Amino acid sequence: MTLQPILPWWLLVPAITATLVLLGWRVFLERRRGTRVEVRRAVLVLLLFAAALRPGVPGGSATAATADLNVFFVVDTTSSMVAEDYGNAGPRLDGIRRDMMGIAQELPGARFSLITFDDTAHVRMPLTTDTSALETITSILEPQVTAYAKGSSITAAREVLAERLAAARESHPERPRLVFYLGDGEQTSGKEPEPLKLGDGLVAGGAVLGYGTPGGGRMKENTGQESDGDAPYIQDSSGSATRDAVSVIDEGRLREIAAQLEVPYVHRAAGDPVSAMMLEANPGALERTTGDGRHSGRTELYWLFAAGAFGLGLAEAVGIVRQFRELQPASQRHAAPRSADVKEAAR
C-alpha cells in the first residue's frame, strides 16, 4: 500500500497529532456521562484523516494524457527573444508562445508553472492546472526593457528552478517533474554560464527548445510603452560604425543545457508540429505508457474511508436535527404562559 496525502507531511502530521490529543482529552472528560457520541465523532475525524492520506495499492491504469505531472516552463525573456528570424520575420517569442500552449494541450490535467529569466529569474506563475491563466500570462510575455539590459546568463534561472523543483518533490513526490527550457542560447554576460545541474531525480523529462537561425535577426527595442511596434532597432556600436544589432542562435550552448538537464535538444521553427516535438522530447514521465496509450497507475482506496466518514457525519446531522426538534416544543410551551401572564396583568 502507498500513501499520497493531499497536504504536505509537515502540515498533515501536526494536524493529525493535535486532533488526536484533543479527541482523547474529550473522551476522557466525558467518560462518566457516556462516551458513545464522543467516540463516534473521534472515529469520524479519524476516517477523514485516513481519506486525506490517499491510501492506494499498485494496479490499474490511467491515460497518459491525464498523467499527474508537474511541468515547468523556463523561458528566456532577454532582448534577443524578439529577434525577427522566426517564420516570416516574426519575433522568437511568437514561437515560444505557440509551443507553450501546444505543450499544455498535449498534457491535459498537468500542473504548469512559468519561470522567466533575463538578468534575474522570476516565478511568473506557480504550479496550477488553470490553463487559461497560463494562456493569459503567455500572451503578454514581453522581453526585458532594453534600457535595463546589462547582459544575461542562459542559466540565470538555475537557483529558482532548483528551488521550485525541490519544493514540488517535497510536497508531491509521486508527481513526475518535466522541464521545458525555451531560449536561443545567446550568452551576453561576460562570464561563463554556471552549469544547470540540478539534484538527482528532480527532472523526470522534458526538452530544451531552441529558437532562432544561424543568420540571426534584428531586435526592436522594448521601451515599456504600448507603441513599441514602431520602436527603433537595437543598435550595435561595438565596431567602427553603428549598425542594427543581430542575434543568432547558439545551439552549442543549448545542447550543453540539454545534456546538463539530461533531456533532448529540439530546434523549433515556424510550422513545426508540437506533437512531433513531444515524441522527440520523449518526456521521461510518460515512458511507462503501454501499447494502448495508457500507463501503470494505482487503485485508490481513500473513498472507502470517505464513505465511512460520510455515513457517520450523516448520523451526526440527523442527531442534531432531532435535538433541535425536541427543543422547539419546549420553547413554545414556555412562551404560552408568558403570553397568558401578560394578558392577565393587562386586566
Both 211 and 336 in one domain: the answer is no
Half-sphere exposure of 178 (CA within 13 A, CB side): 28
Cα–Cα dist 271/277, whole Å: 11
- Domain that residue 203 falls in: 64-296
Question: Is position 224 within any domain?
Answer: yes
Highest mean pLDDT among 217-226, 282-291, 326-335: 217-226
In a shared domain, residues 201 and 110: yes
- List phi, psi (to 5°) of 25: -65, -40
Q: How big is the chain by its Cα radius of gyration, in Å? A: 30
Give mean pLDDT, residues 219-237. Answer: 79
142-173 pLDDT, tens digit each:
888 888 877 789 999 999 999 999 999 999 98
Residue 15 neighbours by CB under 8 Å, 6+ apart: 7
Domain presence at residue 58: no
User: Which of the four pLDDT bands, split at 50, 70 and 90, describes residue 34?
Assistant: low
Least confident window among 102-106, 248-252, 329-333: 329-333
Q: How far apart are CA 209 and CA 93, in angstroms?
A: 12
What the block records as the C-alpha cell of 344 is: 392577565
For 248, the 3-state DSSP assignment is coil
Q: Which three cell numbers stand for residue 196?
A: 544547470
Predicted local distance difference test score (pLDDT) of residue 149:
77
Tell me: pLDDT of 198 over 60. yes
* CATH code, 217: 3.40.50.410
258 lies in the same domain as 161: yes
Pair (124, 142) in one structural domain: yes
The CA distance from 315 to 320, in Å, is 9
Tell me, yes or no, whether 116 and 30 share the same domain. no
Q: Are residues 200 and 335 in the same domain?
A: no
Residue 80 grid coordinates: 534577443
Condensed to tens digits (0 to 9), the pLDDT of residues 93-152 reads 999 999 999 999 989 889 999 999 998 999 999 999 999 999 999 999 988 888 887 778
Number of domains comprising the chain: 2
Type of residue found at 303: W
